[in-house]
Structure 1
Amino acid sequence: MILHTTEVTPLPGYRLFLRFNNGAAGEVDLSAELEGEVFEPLRDPALFATASQHPVMRTVAWGNGADLAPEFLFELMQTQRGERAA
């Protein structure tokens, strides 16, 4: 199975609620990940709030064209929960 997101909801504090096609769901904190030319602009709360489910890539994408791989998001969510990646 190819991992992808099925639900993306932006939350305050540079967090996202995510649901994946493998049944996993939860919050991920991206505050430490917003670095570099593409991601640093997402520190603007209004731009971060544009996070949504990309209809083709089926991952998180923002209004400025930034996106993150679902595998990265899933692993980060598990790490932040203190779980081991599957």
Structure 2
Amino acid sequence: MLHDVTAATHQGGYLIEIEFDDGSRGIADFSTYLTRGGVFERLKDPAYFRQFTVDQEAGTLVWGDELDIAPESLYAQATGKGLPAWMASDEEAAANLRYAVQQ
């Protein structure tokens, strides 16, 4: 299920507290994006990183017109609930399924 980002607050460094439309909230650590290169290269600049906004139409975080991150990824990272099965790797999907069956 897709959950839109409704609010976000910088928590220092590369941490952002994110709130979602289902009331869930958590802190996402964006330092993992710093080694990805490409469009994520600009996130290494702390001043640029802090310029994120919530795009209400897209339901996600954006940095200007150049960069946004899928809300499913943000939800998984901030809440620890994992990616939807259609986005997860085979190994991660299997782990999520095992966890769900145990519940």
Q: TM-score, length-normalised on structure 1?
A: 0.82
| Unaligned runs of at least 5 residues, structure 2 | 83-99
1:17 aligns with 2:43: no
Report the counterpart of residue 71 of structure 2 in structure 1.
70
Alpha-carbon distance in structure 1 between the residues aligned to 2:49 and 2:74: 15
CA displacement at 1:64 relative to structure 2 = 5.6
CA displacement at 1:40 relative to structure 2 = 1.4
Alpha-carbon distance in structure 2 between the residues aligned to 1:72 and 1:33: 12
User: Based on CA coordinates, which of the two structures has the bigger radius of gyration?
Assistant: 2
33-42 or 46-55, larger mean C-alpha shift: 33-42
Report the counterpart of residue 44 of structure 2 in structure 1.
43
- In the alignment, residue 64 of structure 2 is paired with which amino acid? G
Q: How many residues align?
A: 82
1:56 aligns with 2:26: no
14-23 or 30-39, larger mean C-alpha shift: 30-39
Percent of paired sites with the same residue: 35
Counterparts in 2 of 1:12 and 1:64: CA distance versus 1, 3 Å: farther
Alpha-carbon distance in structure 1 between the residues aligned to 2:40 and 2:65: 9
Alpha-carbon distance in structure 1 between the residues aligned to 2:63 and 2:76: 20
| Unaligned runs of at least 5 residues, structure 1 | none
